[in-house]
Structures are given as C-alpha cells and as structure tokens.
Amino acid sequence: MDWVALALIALGGILGSLLRWSLSLLFDSSRVGTLAANLVGVALACFFLVAMEHHGRKSLRNFLLPGFCGGLTTFSALAFESVEGSGGAAYLGVSLFLSLAVAALCFPIARKVLAG
C-alpha cells in the first residue's frame, strides 16, 4: 500500500468535502448546492486533467483528482436527491445534462488556455 498516496487522497478529499459543504450553505436547496458542487468539480477536474496530461506528478494527481475533486463531487447525494421528493427525475436529467455540458465545454477551453 502506498501510504503517501493514501494520505494525499485523504487530505484532498477532506478539502473537497469542506468546499462542497460550504457551497451547500450558500443555497436554500440541497439540490442546488449538490448541483453547484458537481458542476464546479467537473470543471476543475477538466482543467486538472489537461494541466497534468504531460507534466503531472502522481502525488499532485492523487491529491487533486480522486482526492479534492472526488470529495467535492458527490454521486451519492445526486442519487438520493433524485429519488427524494417531487421532481427527482427532472433534477437527475438536468444534473447529468449540465455535468456533461460543462465537461464538453471545459476540456477544449482548458486545452486552449493551458496550451502555452
């Protein structure tokens, strides 16, 4: 077991989870907070992936991607909020569509911005 990698992932996860919690405090609806966290996480992951394609150190990659972005984004909350209360199916559809749209938009932007 790589204890350094485990520690970096855990530290990143703690920080990402704290940011997700902070975002949830900004909105009256937990659905909006979860959606915001997931969209920010997708956008950041796109930029981190592009930035580390050729120069990424494994330790930084572990901290940022499965750690920070993994802690920031949350599939379990998305799943729960999709079956809880009314409008769950619409919420799930909007969440998936927007997440994919953000990824499709952010990857080319990240490639252009970070190309230099």
Beta-carbon count within 10 A of 82 CB: 19
Torsion angle, alpha carbons of 15, 20, 24, 30, to 10: -150
Q: Is the pLDDT confidence value at 101 over 70?
A: yes
Average pLDDT over residues 107-111: 95
31-57 pLDDT per residue, tens: 999 999 999 999 999 999 999 987 779
Q: Is the pLDDT confidence value at 25 over 90?
A: yes
Cα radius of gyration (the chain): 15
Beta-carbon count within 10 A of 65 CB: 18
Q: What is the pTM of this model?
A: 0.89
Average pLDDT over residues 59-80: 94
Average pLDDT over residues 16-42: 93
Each residue of 20-40: b (16+ CB within 10 Å) or e?
beebbeeeeeebebbbebbbb
Average pLDDT over residues 94-104: 97
